[in-house]
Amino acid sequence: MAHTTSDDRQDSWQEALHRKISRRLLPLLLICYMFAALDRVNLGFAKLQMSQDIGISEAVYGLGAGIFFLGYVLFEIPSNLMLTRIGTRKTIMRIMILWGLTSAGMMFVQDVTSFLVLRFLLGVFEAGFAPGIIFYLGYWYPAARLAAPTALFMLAGPISSVLGGPVSTWIMTYLDGAWSLAGWQWMFVLEGLPTVLLGFVVWRTLADSPVQARWLSDAEKAQVTRDVDAGRNPQGKHEFRQVLRDRRVYGLALSYFFLIGGMYAVIFWLPTILADNGIKSITAVGLYSALPYAASIVVMIVLSRRSDRRGERRLHSAVPAIVAAVAMAVAAFTTDNLPIALTAIVISTACSWGSYAVFWSMPSSHLSGTAAAGGIALINSIGLVGGFISPMLFGWLKEATGGTLVGLLVLVGMLLASGIGIAATRIPAASADGVHH
């Protein structure tokens, strides 16, 4: 008969504690991030109507898609450093209310100038949201357990794309002309205003840290603190100025630059790519656009759990990025064959999202203290420059060449560079006992 040891009981109690934390935090954070991701997805569908209504070219649309990230980058590090001073709850509430109002305000776009200004302001107001939450999760989970909850939070991206495509195109189709508003105007209003309400929900329900969580006992609070402290990298940086001299941080940032560049060009241009390949119905475009992101959900869950179980991050992020590059190359040369091209895009998108999910457990385990907030924001800021450049470059190349081949090949290069960069940047991984190897 097997005997239950005190260590077994402790492990069981810790597992139950982490499940309790996940049930309390992750559903709300997931829903909040779904609306943030929806702000990026829905622009691609809005383009199918608004480009004619307000007269924007392919290049201008690409600039508008990318300029969001310029605003985000400029204000991201200040936002995250402020989070450590005023707390997560106030920071996330402020971000969500301002971006929700701005997103809904996209209904008032009338010309190129108003389009670009509102897209830039949307990035300014949303700055710091995702990296702030990634930093926040580090308060609750030790480094060895961080990939799975981070991936669950990141699932918001593909989930919002699975739901956002059909919902956005339904709104655009069936509300077009109601109360003298175009379908794309209704879409921005109905998908923007719920974010404002969620901002107040965050204010009422989110705890700034485990110590302030009323739903944890004193013993549970102490255990969370011990687990997180034990999982910290003892060589992690504790001051932001030290982060600025850390070559590993820049290695991760450059890799993230290429990964985000490859991902976001697809996010913004997939509806156009599908429409150019013979899918003329807006509703059908929305349904087909959901397929890559449905596959992404599965890949993200499998990869993140396997990464936590093996205690390995680098290859679990690098290999999927390289596979994504190969699949994108197939898509680039088979645009005249929709089944093959769409299958390749599905594989590429799923693998790039899988790489993205595991990636964020690397800087979270390497950095500690207030430097983690600034370091995560620095990596994200440099990376999101790729989100600014790639959609704009793709639009310019599409307009200049009359097709998508050259633009897709650029994405192949970016995804390949990301995989190589991640593989070359060695970050110590924490094992379940909190020791870095």
Cα–Cα distance, 182 to 190 (Å, whole number): 13
Quick one: pLDDT at residue 54?
Answer: 86
Map tokens 């301002």 to a residue: 98
pTM: 0.74
Q: Going residue by residue through the chain (437 aa), what tens digit of pLDDT does each one get?
A: 445 555 556 667 778 888 899 999 999 999 998 888 887 778 888 888 888 888 888 888 888 888 888 888 888 878 877 888 888 899 999 999 999 999 999 999 999 999 999 999 999 999 888 888 888 888 898 877 777 788 788 888 888 888 887 888 899 999 988 999 999 999 999 999 999 999 999 999 999 989 999 999 988 898 888 888 775 555 544 466 666 677 888 888 899 999 998 887 787 777 777 877 777 777 788 788 888 889 999 998 899 888 888 888 889 999 999 999 999 999 888 877 888 888 998 999 999 999 988 888 787 666 665 566 677 778 888 888 888 888 888 888 888 888 888 988 999 999 999 999 999 987 654 443 343 44
pLDDT value, residue 282: 75
Which class would CATH give 22-424?
A: mainly alpha
DSSP 106: G
pLDDT digits (tens, 9 = 90+) for 138-184: 889 887 777 778 878 888 888 888 888 788 889 999 998 899 999 99
Using left for φ > 0, alpha for ψ between -120 and 50, and beta otherwise, residue 402 falls in left
Alpha-carbon distances of 193 from 103, 130, 323, rounded to whole Å: 8, 19, 38
Helix (H, G, I), strand (E, B) or coil at 418: helix
Q: Dihedral of the CA atoms 194, 196, 200, 203 (nearest 10)?
A: 110
Can you tell me the distance from the alpha carbon of 189 to that of 106, in angstroms, rounded to the nearest whole number? 8
User: Domain coordinates of the chain in residue numbers?
Assistant: 22-424
Our CA dihedral for 140, 144, 147, 148, rounded to 10 degrees, sits at -70
Distance (Å, whole) CA 363 – CA 69: 21
Note the pLDDT tens digit of each residue in 360-383.
878 766 666 556 667 777 888 888
Contacts of 288 (CB under 8 A, 6+ apart): 274, 279, 342
